[in-house]
């Protein structure tokens, strides 16, 4: 029998916290499953962890909830792990959740109620505040969303987490998107339907450490930007137009000075400055276009997003047998 809801959990170096996390998540999932008479499964995706995550995950027992463990052949990154989970999930509805314990499983009840009782299609957690984070990171995140939503048709909510539930029709929509470079937060708001934000306060990481370096964050931002918004290109165009306008005005001024008032012009510094400004802007714009071309190239290569090394499905024993 297919489940009604699949909980997709990406794991990267989460061995130390995983048994505890699994216990807690299963307890909540089982409670929801019983209260709502639903079938729920958990899909763990081991994203090529370097620690014992794969073997720990392989030993997890289904506490009344079916468990799938998908092990990828190497570390492909969180978005790829989410996609692997999406592909293996048998449930109609989907719940994405981090495996580091920062996304409180208690919120599952809220999400399911928004979906079942109030008819929302996408229920997603939004950080209530970011005061726990370094100011530099907060500034960076803020700038990222500003740029991302600049002139965009669909706003991607700021501070939204990857912690979200998708109703069957929203999940079906997400499954139909063909692109390989994915930015799940963006996609799940892009598909539309009825969306609902739920504020939450992420728990502190109890085990392991966050795997996001600044460079990784920058990479993901570029990915999100280039796959979601033509804003950087548009801005490049605007900067170009501004420069051209300024150059035209300054040029006219020079002509006037020389022809009408006969003022001799000291030329060298202004020429050098002009060259440098134009050269810099051109390089910047070429760089931006390069990002988009790289994106096009990787879509065209059409490589698989991930490879599965191992896959196991562990079915929960029927409840009657347990007593
Ligand atoms: N993760 C993953 N692959 C990676 C990096 C992270 O599957 O290459 C998982 C990680 O195990 C966790 C989630 O993605 O479940 C969020 O990662 P993390 O806690 O490091 O990010 P943060 O909470 O700092 O955004
Ligand atoms: Mg985390």
pLDDT tens for each residue of 10-49: 999 888 889 999 999 998 898 888 888 899 999 999 998 9
Tell which atom from ligand 1 comes closest to the C-alpha of 205. 19
Instruction: Determine which residue's CA is closest to atom 22 belonging to ligand 1.
Output: 210
Contacts of 140 (CB under 8 A, 6+ apart): 214, 217, 221
ipTM value: 0.92
Residue among 98, 127, 184, 305 whose CB has most ligand 1 atoms within 8 A, to mutate? 98
Tell which atom from ligand 1 comes closest to the C-alpha of 11. 11
- pTM (2 decimals)? 0.74
Cα of 73 from ligand 2 centre, angstroms? 22
CA atoms of 12 and 62, how far apart (whole Å): 20
Mean pLDDT per block of 10 residues along the chain (323 residues) reads 90 90 90 89 92 87 87 91 92 91 87 90 84 74 75 71 90 85 78 85 69 72 74 79 82 81 74 79 82 83 87 73 41
Tell which atom from ligand 1 comes closest to the C-alpha of 77. 8
Cα of 237 from ligand 2 centre, angstroms? 37
Residues with CB under 6 A from ligand 1: 10-12, 14, 47, 75, 77-78, 81, 98-100, 102, 210-212
Cα of 166 from ligand 1 centre, angstroms? 20
């Amino acid at each position: 029998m297919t489940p009604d809801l699949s909980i997709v959990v990406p794991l990267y170096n989460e061995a130390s916290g995983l048994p505890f996390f699994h216990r807690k998540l299963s307890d909540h999932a089982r409670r929801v499953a019983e209260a709502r008479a639903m079938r729920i499964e958990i899909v763990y995706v081991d994203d090529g962890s370097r620690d014992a995550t794969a073997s720990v995950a392989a030993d997890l027992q289904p506490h009344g909830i079916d468990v799938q463990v998908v092990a990828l052949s190497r570390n492909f990154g969180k978005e790829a792990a989410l996609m692997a989970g999406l592909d293996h999930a048998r449930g109609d509805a989907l719940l994405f959740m981090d495996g580091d314990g920062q996304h409180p499983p208690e919120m599952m009840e809220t999400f399911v109620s928004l979906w079942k009782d109030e008819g929302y299609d996408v229920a997603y957690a939004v950080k209530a505040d970011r005061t726990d984070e370094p100011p530099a990171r907060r500034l960076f995140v803020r700038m990222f969303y500003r740029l991302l939503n600049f002139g965009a048709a669909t706003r991607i909510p700021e501070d939204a987490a990857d912690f979200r539930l998708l109703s069957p029709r929203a999940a079906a929509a997400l499954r139909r998107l063909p692109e390989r470079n994915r930015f799940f937060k963006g996609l799940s708001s892009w598909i539309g339907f009825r969306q609902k934000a739920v504020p939450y306060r992420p728990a502190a990481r109890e085990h392991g450490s966050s795997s996001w370096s600044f460079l990784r964050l920058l990479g993901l931002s570029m990915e999100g930007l280039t796959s979601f918004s033509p804003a950087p290109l548009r801005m490049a165009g605007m900067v170009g137009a501004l420069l051209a306008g300024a150059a035209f005005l300054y040029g006219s001024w020079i002509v006037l000075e020389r022809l009408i008032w006969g003022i001799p012009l000291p030329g060298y510094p202004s020429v050098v400055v002009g060259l440098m400004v134009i050269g810099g802007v051109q390089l910047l714009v070429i760089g931006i276009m390069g990002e988009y071309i790289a994106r096009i190239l990787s879509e065209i290569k059409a490589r698989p997003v991930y490879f599965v090394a191992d896959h196991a499905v562990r079915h929960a024993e029927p409840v009657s047998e347990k007593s």
